[in-house]
Amino acid sequence: MSGRILSHRLGPLLRTRLLARQLHNAGARTGGLLRADGSAVLRGRSWPLGANAIHNNVPAVRTISFARILPRLALKLARVPAMFGGAMIAGLAYIQYQAAQAGNYAIDFFKRTGDMAGEAASSLFGELQGIVEQTQQGWQNTTEDVELPEWLQKIFRLNEESSRSGGGGGGSSGGGGSPQESRAGMAAVGAATGAAYGYDQSDEDDLRASRERAEDDQMMLLTRKMIEIRNILQTVGQSNTLTLPSIVVIGSQSSGKSSVLEAIVGHEFLPKGSNMVTRRPIELTLVNTPNAQAEYGEFPALGLGKITDFSQIQRTLTDLNLAVPEKDCVSDDPIQLTIYSPNVPDLSLIDLPGYIQVAGRDQPPELKQKISDLCDKYIQSPNVILAISAADVDLANSTALRASRRVDPRGERTIGVVTKMDLVDAERGRSILADKKYPLRLGYVGVVCRVPQTTALFSRGSGNITSAILKNEHAFFSAHPTEFGPHSEVEVGVTTLRKKLMHVLEQTMASSLAGTRDAISQELEEATYEFKVQYNDRPLSAESYLAESLDGFKHSFKAFAEGFGRPQVRDMLKNELDQRVLDILAQRYWNKPVEDLLVPMPEPDPLSDLAKADPESLYWRRKLDASASALTKLGIGRLATTVVATALQNHVDQLVAGSTFAAHPYAQKQILDATNRILNDRFFSTSDQVENCIKPYKFEIELEEPEWAKARENAGRVLRDELRACESALKRVEETVGKRKLKDVMSFIDHVRKGEIVLEGDGSAGAGGFSSALLERGREGVFLRDRSEIIKMRLLAIRSKQCASKKNQMYCPEIFLDAVADKLTATAVLFLNVELLSEFYYNFPRELDGRLGRHLSDAEVERFAREDPRVRKHLDVIRKKELLELALQKIEGIRQLDPRANASNHTLGAGASGRAQEKRSRWNLF
């Protein structure tokens, strides 16, 4: 019974011994567990403890309590890549702990059992001691075989020293020690395990990491502010001196230029194709948005808004590039693209068409030179050159490096990027990056920007491919630690390239700020002087200009409305009806029944018999009634409404032509649309109302003596006007043909009409020695002469005593029809004033406010104001002045970010980073 109990108690210890052997054998098969730098070794290849272990040494840690490690265990475990090495160390530590615990239990058990199991306990105790000694010996062998870090060796030495100093005689024989010592050992094991997993860092390392992060954040802030200044100066666009440097990306076709930019951005967004696709410079601005989740792009010049689908950005760039005519192939008109993302640094990049060696069959022969000239335009100082070369191409044949050496022979502002590093062996790749034959002050960076095909398909359009690129790149470089490790003195990786670009761009921009500030100050002085001299310091904005223009137009419209009322409408409508009366008189009384004046005339005109006609004659009475009916059933409602609406529209057009809106097509269209909408809405209802109100006059018309007298006077005036019009027209015909010749032609026509001359045919080919054109002029002259004679006769009739009374209205159709027209006009004006004029005057200003006032967006207001060249120039001067003042203000704000101003807030110590010192010296230019 006691044997089974003892076996049950010692079972875990035996299993622990078996586990120790298995772990030891596993460690032997893997070729070692840990190296001195803290990274695990698996099958001869390093497994780094951090994502950037290829570039950075693993930081040292200090001994901490196991209680401090436990709360952080769950958070750190998921993201530490050294899990395997830490797990093995923890397993070995667990063996030692179980051995010590088992030893303590065995000693207590022997003391309690005493004589009962003395002999068996003694033998088992000896076996137990052997197990513990073997376990400790295996642990020592393991720690000797494994190159433990210095911090871990210190932990075990402290544990051994504490065990020796606190050990007693009774406990030492069993290898167990007191419970306090066991807990101390467990704490040490926990600290070792936590250190292996990277759970904690020392205060010094925390301070160092915090300081580096603060410097990176400060560098990003400075870069962002300087990019903002650069964008402001680009908006001003008045002088080449008002520029800040950008990073210009050059390289031959198929060198991996697009892949490098897409690796920095994290998305495939650049145009791709079998032929030359990039034909215009792409000014790419990257803006880091740390608190945002979404990534999107914007084309500032196109106004397309936020585009979250990067495949759409790619299609837009492709369309903009392919829009360049094939005869030109390339254009220097840049495409501006801004990408906002929490995964990008603040950078300003310019992507250019790739160099070509030989122009294709469908490309112009001068294309090669055009691309070279375009690139030379952008790689001038102070821009930073990012020269892209493929690793499988000798640097001596790199077109990008040759171009950069022409403008930057000392290599002071050129960064060499070697792509496709995985296509050459590691030794050759390292020699390329460490090249001394083509030295660059900013050095070379090797990258592998190839994206796994599965990742590219999965991430196309929306997913970020940065992690996939970094993982693929890291797998390649970590496989060659000797050539590309932290001690290889070469720079590799997209992450390294990002940091270098940020650092170089910030340094270059900062060195240009002093000269840029002086140039801005000079430009600002000139803009201020121009603003004072040409515009007398008069402030102006698009909103104020629109408001002033709208107020001035409404004031003019109000003056027009006050001067255009019922009297004006009545005169206008009466004049229109007077012309209709003349048409009816000519049709029913004056004109000859045969239109062709070369045909012999019929019986004499009966109008000459009107004065002697019988008062009971049905012929003349019916002719008068038919004439009055033709006037009343003319459609007075539609006619009157059309006349007034046309008059209103013409007056509004005149107001627009005399206002500031004359130079604004958009405003003219809006005013015209507002006028048409109101008039169309009121047209049918007004015409119906007018037509209904004049309906009684269609059946019976009664006139008073005063109305007859008034009509008599007005009819005489109308006939005199018509007579003057006829005489003027006849005089113009005489001036055209000649008075004598016209007289001969008219005489010939009169003889034909009287039958004295007989024509063969209709005279269309000419007759009597006169051409057909001359005969046509003669007909016109005869018509005007006859009309004048008839009007003169009718004027004499109106002045006669016979037409003095309304009782003789049959003899005087001109007076009667004029009286009817006057009644129709007076009745129609009442409803036109209420139904059309009043409504138009009330609604038109409000319609203008809706179309040209509060409902316009800022962009529409700005576009409206800039339609006038004079206003556009005024606004440009003001905007230039404001932008230059803003740029100066931002430059002064950058001075506040000088690290010296914040030196009191940081304990930099003697080991301050070289980058911070360089930053401080760089900002001394202020």
Q: 872-881: per-residue pLDDT in tens?
A: 888 888 888 8
Any domain includes 751? yes
pLDDT digits (tens, 9 = 90+) for 240-267: 556 678 899 999 988 888 899 999 998 9
Any domain includes 804? yes
User: Cα–Cα distance between 908 and 687 in angstroms, integer?
Assistant: 90
Residue 600 and residue 465 share a domain:
no
More reliable by pLDDT, 282 or 438: 282
Q: What is the DSSP string of 766-808?
A: -BTTB-HHHHHHHHHHHHHHHHHHHHHHHHHHHHSGGGGSGGG
- For residue 450, give its domain range: 247-454+461-492
Residue 588 and residue 484 share a domain:
no
More reliable by pLDDT, 223 or 409: 409
Looking at 832, 862, 892, which one is the last position of a domain?
862
Any domain includes 886? no
Residue 388 and residue 316 share a domain:
yes
pLDDT confidence of residue 46:
38
144 pLDDT above the threshold of 80: no
Exposure letters 112-132 (e unless 16+ CB within 10 A, then b): eeeeebeeebeebbeebeebb
83 pLDDT above the threshold of 70: no
CB-based burial of residue 157 (10 Å sphere; 0-12 exposed, 13-18 middle, 19+ buried)? Answer: exposed
Residue 722 and residue 605 share a domain:
yes
Distances (CA, A) of 270 to 278, 283, 309, 751, 812: 9, 12, 13, 90, 89
184 pLDDT above the threshold of 80: no
pLDDT confidence of residue 130:
55
CB-based burial of residue 357 (10 Å sphere; 0-12 exposed, 13-18 middle, 19+ buried)? Answer: exposed
User: Cα–Cα distance between 897 and 510 in angstroms, integer?
Assistant: 12
How many CB atoms lie under 10 A from the CB of residue 707?
Answer: 16
Mark out the alpha helices in 198-297 (DSSP H runs).
203-236, 257-265
Distances (CA, A) of 497 to 224, 346, 492: 18, 13, 8
Q: CA 500: distance to chain centroid?
A: 29
Any domain includes 538? no
Rounded to an integer, the average pLDDT of 34-57 is 38
700 pLDDT above the threshold of 70: yes
Judged by average pLDDT, the poorest of 807-821, 840-854, 890-904 is: 890-904
CB-based burial of residue 48 (10 Å sphere; 0-12 exposed, 13-18 middle, 19+ buried)? Answer: buried
* β-bridge partners, 338: 285, 298
Confidence of residue 238 (pLDDT cuts 50, 70, 90): low
pLDDT confidence of residue 539:
87
Looking at 862, 877, 907, which one is the last position of a domain?
862
215 pLDDT above the threshold of 80: no
Any domain includes 637? yes
921 pLDDT above the threshold of 60: no
Any domain includes 692? yes
Any domain includes 209? no
Residue 266 and residue 397 share a domain:
yes
Beta-carbon contacts of residue 35 (< 8 Å; ≥ 6 apart):
41, 46, 147
How long, in residues, is the chain? 926
More reliable by pLDDT, 905 or 624: 624
**H/E run at residue 351:** strand 347-351
| Percent residues over pLDDT 70 in the chain | 68
Confidence of residue 600 (pLDDT cuts 50, 70, 90): low
Residue 485 and residue 619 share a domain:
no
User: Cα–Cα distance between 554 and 546 in angstroms, integer?
Assistant: 12
User: Cα–Cα distance between 607 and 811 in angstroms, integer?
Assistant: 10
514 pLDDT above the threshold of 80: no
Closest by alpha carbon to 482, among 492, 496, 469? Answer: 492
pLDDT confidence of residue 401:
92
616 pLDDT above the threshold of 70: yes
User: Cα–Cα distance between 134 and 142 in angstroms, integer?
Assistant: 12
pLDDT digits (tens, 9 = 90+) for 817-858: 999 999 999 999 998 998 899 999 999 999 998 888 777 888
Tell me the two tokens of residue 228. Answer: 């903002």
pLDDT confidence of residue 158:
44
464 pLDDT above the threshold of 80: no
Residue 572 and residue 470 share a domain:
no
280 pLDDT above the threshold of 50: yes
- Say how many domains are in the chain: 2
Residue 690 and residue 792 share a domain:
yes
Asked whether 406 and 377 are in contact (CB, 8 A), the reply is no
More reliable by pLDDT, 74 or 582: 582
User: Cα–Cα distance between 266 and 341 in angstroms, integer?
Assistant: 9
User: Cα–Cα distance between 85 and 30 in angstroms, integer?
Assistant: 11
Exposure letters 242-264 (e unless 16+ CB within 10 A, then b): bbbbbbbbbbbbebbbbbbbbbb
Asked whether 397 and 424 are in contact (CB, 8 A), the reply is no
Rounded to an integer, the average pLDDT of 213-242 is 67
Any domain includes 424? yes
Rounded to an integer, the average pLDDT of 322-347 is 88
Provide the edge-to-edge strand list for the sheet that holds 347-351: 296-298, 335-341, 282-288, 347-351, 247-251, 384-390, 414-419, 444-446, 491-492
Looking at 862, 888, 903, which one is the last position of a domain?
862
CATH number of residue 263's parent domain: 3.40.50.300
Residue 563 and residue 488 share a domain:
no
pLDDT confidence of residue 338:
93
pLDDT confidence of residue 761:
65
Count Cα atoms within 13 angstroms, Cβ side, for 443: 15
**Highest-confidence segment of 135-149, 548-562, 910-924:** 548-562
Distances (CA, A) of 739 to 698, 770, 784: 47, 15, 14
Residue 839 and residue 690 share a domain:
yes
Confidence of residue 516 (pLDDT cuts 50, 70, 90): confident
Tell me the two tokens of residue 642. Answer: 């059309």
Asked whether 41 and 34 are in contact (CB, 8 A), the reply is yes
Asked whether 317 and 269 are in contact (CB, 8 A), the reply is yes
- Average pLDDT over the chain, rounded to whole? 75
Residue 682 and residue 773 share a domain:
yes
pLDDT confidence of residue 365:
76
Asked whether 60 and 151 are in contact (CB, 8 A), the reply is yes
Tell me the two tokens of residue 895. Answer: 């001075």
More reliable by pLDDT, 187 or 843: 843
